[in-house]
């Protein structure tokens, strides 16, 4: 299995192609590796094991061909990057993540001393009308699409036997989009059902609507915890399981009520807070194990779908939680940060889960500006939530949440086997120099 990464800069508006070439010197000063190179799995925090079974006996489940296709009119373009990019453009650098250093879309880095660009990788651009272009990466691993018209796009890459480190390679979702029929199920607690309307599952459906029919089942139940959705419970067996055979994506929003209940039961005074903090990492890992149990049970019913897990923000950074914690919010924040970081890093390649890292994505955000109450989201928060899921599924689109644009100038996006560093700003291109890549990676 190969671990591949792509750094991408993206648009202010959007549209159609170019390609890549005439590459400058290889920034890593090392030979380009091929897709047959073996990468150690040790320390990998996310990947898609393509050796997993993709067939079931139940003929009622969707049988999805995940191989990118494009019509004859869309020939693969070889390297030829423009001298100047239009504002509506996207470009990227494809390379091997040799040190497995990424844990999520918000915890990623490119090290030119270790990682190696890849040439000859086929990159497909999927728009509402189907595949628009297919390009090939150049000697330095760079590719690009230029002159894009306004709209939403999905990027796919022509490599299947690979792992990914940022937990965001959607295997089945792009194929469902190509067919114009996507079924999304959202399960969990009150987060998808409480706050400012429309809730994030509906907003996600609206973002996807230009691709075709979107069936959007939001069956989350306010007040439930991760234990209430385990296989064998009424919620799993009667509410979720009957819908799974036709599903393409299942979004799991669990853990918020678990944590809120834990805090309310244990943090009644200073001594209670101290004991709660000591046991909190173990408690969070228990939530993780229950989520993985639910995910595995979902795949037993239908292995041909993508499972998305939403890692919540560090609520302890908000004024609301600081009040609930008797002013000890700063103390609690450090413990919660460590626990959530451990959960993010502990999701392994074999878990096959797409991770929406709201914890990482909101570390520099004032949570009070996006919260409706202690746990739920206001209008800005609902939109942020929907867009984060959309990006994890493979979207290439400018974000509309003006609230967070300055804090989130860059974000990592992962498509099949690749990571895309997307930039929303005035310069939708990537200077292929070590200095610029470091600037992009650090979000400067």
119-134: pLDDT as tens digits? 888 888 887 777 677 8
Residue at 36 is within a domain: yes
Between 151 and 83, the more confident residue is 151
For residue 318 the two structure tokens come to: 């908000």
Check whether residue 11 and residue 158 sit in a common domain: yes
Same domain, 134 and 154: yes
* 87 shares a domain with 50: yes
Residues 13, 88 contacting (CB under 8 angstroms): yes
Per-residue pLDDT tens digits for 238-263 = 999 999 999 999 999 998 788 778 87
pLDDT at position 117 is 82
User: Of 298, 412, 402, nearest to 344 (Cα)?
Assistant: 412
Q: Are both 161 and 202 inside the same structural domain?
A: no
Task: Compute CA distances 17 → 78, 79, 131, 151, 358, whole Å.
Answer: 11, 12, 11, 14, 32
Number of H helices, E strands in the chain: 10, 17
346 and 202 housed in the same domain: yes
Tell whether 32 is covered by a domain. Answer: yes
- Between CA 35 and CA 162 the distance in angstroms is 8
CA distance linking residue 318 with residue 365, whole number of Å: 10
Assign 34 to helix, strand or coil: coil
Q: Tell me: the pLDDT tens digits for 21-64?
A: 333 333 233 222 222 222 222 222 222 222 222 222 334 445 55
Residue 277 burial (CB count, 10 A): 18
Q: What is the mean pLDDT of the chain?
A: 71
Q: Give Cα 407 distance to the centre of its chain.
A: 18
Token pair, residue 153, equals 């796009």
Task: Count Cβ atoms below 10 Å from residue 79 Cβ, excluding itself.
Answer: 21
Same domain, 193 and 322: yes
Residue 19: both structure tokens together: 């390609």
Phi then psi for residue 349, to 5 deg, are: -55, -40
Over residues 226-240, the mean pLDDT reads: 98
pLDDT class of 295 with cuts at 50, 70, 90? very high
User: 293 and 325: one domain?
Assistant: yes
Q: What are phi and psi of 168, to 5 degrees?
A: -150, 45
Lookup result for tokens 């996310």? 46
Would you give the distance in Å from CA 205 to the centre of its chain?
A: 16
Neighbouring C-beta atoms of residue 338, cutoff 10 Å: 13
Q: What proportion of the chain, given as a percentage, has pLDDT over 90?
A: 29
User: Is 10 part of any domain?
Assistant: yes
Asked if residue 425 and residue 413 are part of one domain, the reply reads yes
Is the pLDDT score of 184 beyond 80?
A: yes
pLDDT at site 398: 54
Domain containing residue 228: CATH number: 3.40.50.1110
As for how many domains the chain has, the answer is 2
Q: Examine the domain organization and report whether 291 and 382 are in the same domain.
A: yes
Q: Which residues pair with 410 in a beta bridge?
A: 423
> Same domain for 352 and 322?
yes
Full residue range of the structural domain in which residue 305 is found: 180-393
Angle at 332 between CA 329 and CA 333, to 5 degrees: 80
Q: Cα angle vertex 241, ends 236, 242, to 5°? A: 135
Which of these ranges, 37-46, 154-163, 410-419, has the smallest mean pLDDT?
37-46
Give the residue from 375, 393, 411 where a domain finishes. Answer: 393
Token representation of residue 442? 């650090």
Pairing of strands 395-396, 153-157: antiparallel
Q: Are residues 57 and 13 in the same domain?
A: yes
Q: Tell me what pLDDT residue 34 has.
A: 26
175 found inside a domain: no
The sign of the CA dihedral 314, 320, 326, 327 is: positive
Q: Find the mean pLDDT for residues 354-378.
A: 92
DSSP 244-311: GGG-SEEEEE-SHHHHHHHHHHH-SSHHHHHHHHHHHHHHHHHHHHHHHHHHHHHHHH-SSSEEEEEE
What are phi and psi for residue 395, nearest 5 degrees? -75, 145
- Residue 68: inside a domain: yes
On whether residue 13 sits in a domain, the answer given is: yes
Domain end point (choices 361, 377, 393): 393
Percent of the chain with pLDDT over 70: 64
Q: Pairing mode, if any, of strands 76-77 and 181-188? A: unpaired
How far is 421 from 432, CA to CA, in rounded Å?
Answer: 14
**3-class secondary-structure state, position 331:** helix
- Same domain? For 42 and 160 the reply is yes
Name the pLDDT band for 267 (thresholds 50, 70, 90): low
Asked whether residue 359 is domain-assigned, the answer is: yes
């Amino acid at each position: 299995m190969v671990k591949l990464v792509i750094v991408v800069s993206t648009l202010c508006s959007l549209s159609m192609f170019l390609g890549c070439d005439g590459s400058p010197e290889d920034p890593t000063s090392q030979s380009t590796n091929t897709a047959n190179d073996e990468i150690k799995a040790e320390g990998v925090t996310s990947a898609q094991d393509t050796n997993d079974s993709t067939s079931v006996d139940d003929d009622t489940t969707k049988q999805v061909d995940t191989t990118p296709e494009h019509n004859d009119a869309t020939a693969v373009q070889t390297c030829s990057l423009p001298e100047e990019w239009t504002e509506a453009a996207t470009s990227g650098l494809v390379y091997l993540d040799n040190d497995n250093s990424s844990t999520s879309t918000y915890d990623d880095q490119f090290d030119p001393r270790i990682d190696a660009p890849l040439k000859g990788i086929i990159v497909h651009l999927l728009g509402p009308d189907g595949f628009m272009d297919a390009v090939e990466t150049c000697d330095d691993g760079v590719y690009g699409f230029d002159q894009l018209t306004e709209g939403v796009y999905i990027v796919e890459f022509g490599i299947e036997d690979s792992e990914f480190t940022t937990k965001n390679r959607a295997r089945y979702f792009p194929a469902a989009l190509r067919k114009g029929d996507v079924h999304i199920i959202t399960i969990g607690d009150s987060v998808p059902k409480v706050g400012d309307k429309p809730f994030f599952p509906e907003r996600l459906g609206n973002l996807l609507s230009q691709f075709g029919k979107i069936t959007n089942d939001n069956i989350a139940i306010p007040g439930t915890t991760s234990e209430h959705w385990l296989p064998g419970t009424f919620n799993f067996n009667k509410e979720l399981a009957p819908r799974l055979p036709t599903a393409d994506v299942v979004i799991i929003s669990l853990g918020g009520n678990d944590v809120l209940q834990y805090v309310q039961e244990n943090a009644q005074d200073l001594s209670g807070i101290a004991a709660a903090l000591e046991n909190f990492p173990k408690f969070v890992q228990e939530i993780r194990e229950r989520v993985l149990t639910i995910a595995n049970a979902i795949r037993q019913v239908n292995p041909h779908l993508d499972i998305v897990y939403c890692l919540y923000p560090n609520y302890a950074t908000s004024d609301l939680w600081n009040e609930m914690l008797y002013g000890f919010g700063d103390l609690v924040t450090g413990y919660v940060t460590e626990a959530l970081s451990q959960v993010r890093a502990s999701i392994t390649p074999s878990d096959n889960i797409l991770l929406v890292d709201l914890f990482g994505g909101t570390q520099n955000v004032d949570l009070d500006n996006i919260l409706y109450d202690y746990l739920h989201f206001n209008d800005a928060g609902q939109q942020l939530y929907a867009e984060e899921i959309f990006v994890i599924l493979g979207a290439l689109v400018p974000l509309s949440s003006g609230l967070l644009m300055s804090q989130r100038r860059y974000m990592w996006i992962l498509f099949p086997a690749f990571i895309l560093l997307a930039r929303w700003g005035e310069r939708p291109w990537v200077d292929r120099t070590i200095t610029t890549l470091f600037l992009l990676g650090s979000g400067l």
